[in-house]
Amino acid sequence: METKPAWSFSSIKTFDQCPKKYYHVKVAKDYEENFETEAILYGNEFHKAAEDYVGGTVDKLDPRFDYAKTVLDKLLSMKGEKLCEYRMGLTENLEPCDFFAKNVWYRGIADLIILDREAGIAKVLDYKTGKSARYADKGQLELMALCVFKHFPEVKTVKGGLLFVVCNAFVKDTYTIDKQSELWQKWLSAYGILEKAYANDVWNPRPTGLCKAHCIVTECPHNGKR
């Protein structure tokens, strides 16, 4: 069986979308995702600008992103410690660990955590630069909340939000520590399916309407670029 890398929200989503693509990108590593697209580069630049501004590294926001200044200023004004691009790891026993620890099992990065230790509340924000919030997936917020509960045991409530800065939308949810077992059951079940794929070395394609024009795995029979 292949050695399983630490998983993340994005990797479990890739597997869920298509096990064959996951295999080629994460296991065989004979194909690489293109992270140099205009949209991805723009998103990375916004994230860095927001990190520097909210984190206090700079006094002024990059003028290219002035459209988001009002909402970022609102985040700045909120009570609590600001943790930007905060990396968290968990072991297989769901114990908190360093992001790069040898026994890390899950990895997640929160764009922003606003930590109010006294109140036992954390706000977890993820910036999105897409043009629509129509297909927003709150699974990312669930996993971040679960990580926060482990890394900051004084936190009993996590208020999560996907902040779509370009289309001015906010997708939010609230998570309480008493529900963490229920949430973990869901994600451990999803991970179990991935684990079986590694154990059996079976990576069947899962064709969708995006295969022909968008998938990078050109050897797949469902790819239209062959």
Note the pLDDT tens digit of each residue in 90-143.
999 999 999 999 999 999 999 999 999 999 999 999 999 999 999 899 999 999
CA distance 181 to 187: 10
- Tell me what pLDDT residue 212 has: 77
How many residues are listed for the chain in this entry? 226
Place of tokens 């919030």: 133
Runs of H (alpha helix) within 23-168? 38-54, 69-77, 139-151
Q: Which helix (H) or strand (E) holds 126?
A: strand 121-128
CA distance 182 to 143: 12
CATH of segment(s) 9-214: 3.90.320
The token duo for 121 is: 């509340």
- Tell me what pLDDT residue 226 has: 56
Question: What ranges do the domains of the chain cover?
Answer: 9-214
- Tell me what pLDDT residue 3 has: 64
Number of neighbours of residue 53 by Cβ within 10 angstroms: 22
- Tell me what pLDDT residue 208 has: 87
- Tell me what pLDDT residue 206 has: 93
- Tell me what pLDDT residue 1 has: 43
- Tell me what pLDDT residue 145 has: 98
From the centroid of its chain, how far is CA 191? 15
Q: Which one, of 167, 196, 166, 159, lies nearest residue 80 by Cα?
A: 159
pTM: 0.92
Low-confidence ranges of the chain (pLDDT < 50): 1
Average pLDDT, the chain: 94
